[in-house]
Amino acid sequence: MERLIRANPHSAHFDEVQFRRGEYFFTRRKFRDAENAYSAIISLGASSSYYELALYKLGWTFYKQELYEEALHKYMALLDYKVSIGYDFDQTHEEDDERRVADTFRVISLSFSNLGGPEAVAEYFATFGNRSYEDRVYSNLGEHYLDKLRYDDAAKTYKAFVALYPFHRAAPRFSMRVVETFTKGGFPKLVLESKQEFASKYGLQAEYWRHFKPEESPEVLAYLKTNLKDLATHYHAQYQSTQDRGREARELSRGAPMVRRLPRVVPDGRRFAADQLPARGPAPREQGFRRGGASSTSARPTDTRAHAQSAAAGYAAVYAYREQLKVARRGAAGRRQARHGRKLAQVRRRVPAARARRGGPRARPPTTCTR
């Protein structure tokens, strides 16, 4: 092959011979020689039928030498070329083509993992230019960590993308993967926190929906509805299970917005009736999703069509206002008692201090009995 190349440098088979040379050296771990062979093909440009394969194998050659950034340059060049010729990552292509692209994303994940994870991804694209397929890079890296049971790293990767691109069309799916990752890892507290974050980011009043139409994202709306119901049920249960009044108030303040937001998830404005509220134990109207709870049931009638639970919803509204009044009265009485207790404590603290300034309590003269 060496003699053929030297004798025929302009041969129509030059690229093929160089590729065979590269493969020969690569399998024998002579990576520097393989570099030269693959680079010779790349220098010919996209006109060579071996151009893509040369980029792919040159990337692997650098990776094997632990030159991860150099490897990334070649893999990104390969993906850039695919995009430039109209390659659609969402469409079905020839098996060999799809396998090569999938493996390219896989080794990109391996390279970024070795370079430091999602922070390295953000730094790379900030330095060498953003790409239209960045979401796929983050997604594949997250899935790589998840396959390795590195739940925290996977969640950080998904969160990193959302932090950089909060209004990207794929952002809700990344937030959903955060919840699913913590669920799979068995971290209930983190599941709850990530569900709260999802509800905050993608509720229908959120900034995200100023950039997209809710009806165009049915998957996100369905997940949001389920998410809000889960949160409302959780806080309802938490409220019922505690005797601590301070904690009751906290759980109430957290859960009530979930109940209020739940009906707005449906784009046509249909209000969820009593049968769609959390049903664990007594219904929320009976146990205390009160602050704002009444308005959840009696909100302005954007949809006047009859509902199977209309009567129950009406009863819930009346009951809610009555219970809200009770809670308000108990709260006011509790606050008055607390103020009185604080004043009494202040008086008790001031008395010893005043006596100390006067030199202590005066001795009482002895009393005598006179007859």
| Secondary structure of 326-354 in HEC code, one letter for each residue | HHHHHHHHHHHHHHHHHHHHHHHHHHHHH
Over residues 51-65, the pLDDT tens digits come to 999 999 999 999 999
Highest mean pLDDT among 132-136, 272-276, 350-354: 132-136
Q: Which two tokens stand for residue 270?
A: 């249909």
Over residues 111-122, the pLDDT tens digits come to 999 999 999 999
What does the pLDDT read at residue 61? 98
pTM for the full predicted model: 0.69
Torsion-angle region of residue 131: left (phi > 0), alpha (psi -120 to 50) or beta?
beta
What is the rounded distance in angstroms from the CA atom of residue 183 to the CA atom of residue 177?
10
What is the rounded distance in angstroms from the CA atom of residue 254 to the CA atom of residue 127?
42
Over residues 195-249, the pLDDT tens digits come to 999 999 998 889 999 999 999 999 999 999 998 888 888 877 776 665 555 554 5
Q: Find the range with the poorest average confidence among 148-157, 172-181, 361-370.
A: 361-370
How much of the chain is helix, strand and coil, in % rounded to 5? Answer: 70, 0, 30
Query: How many angstroms from the chain centroid is the CA of residue 206?
Result: 15
What is the rounded distance in angstroms from the CA atom of residue 41 to the CA atom of residue 56?
12
Can you tell me the mean pLDDT for 167-183? 97
What is the rounded distance in angstroms from the CA atom of residue 19 to the CA atom of residue 4?
13
**To the nearest whole percent, how much of the chain has pLDDT over 70?**
62
Query: In this model, does residue 342 exceed pLDDT 60?
Result: yes
Can you tell me the mean pLDDT for 83-101? 94
What does the pLDDT read at residue 129? 96
Query: How many angstroms from the chain centroid is the CA of residue 179?
Result: 7
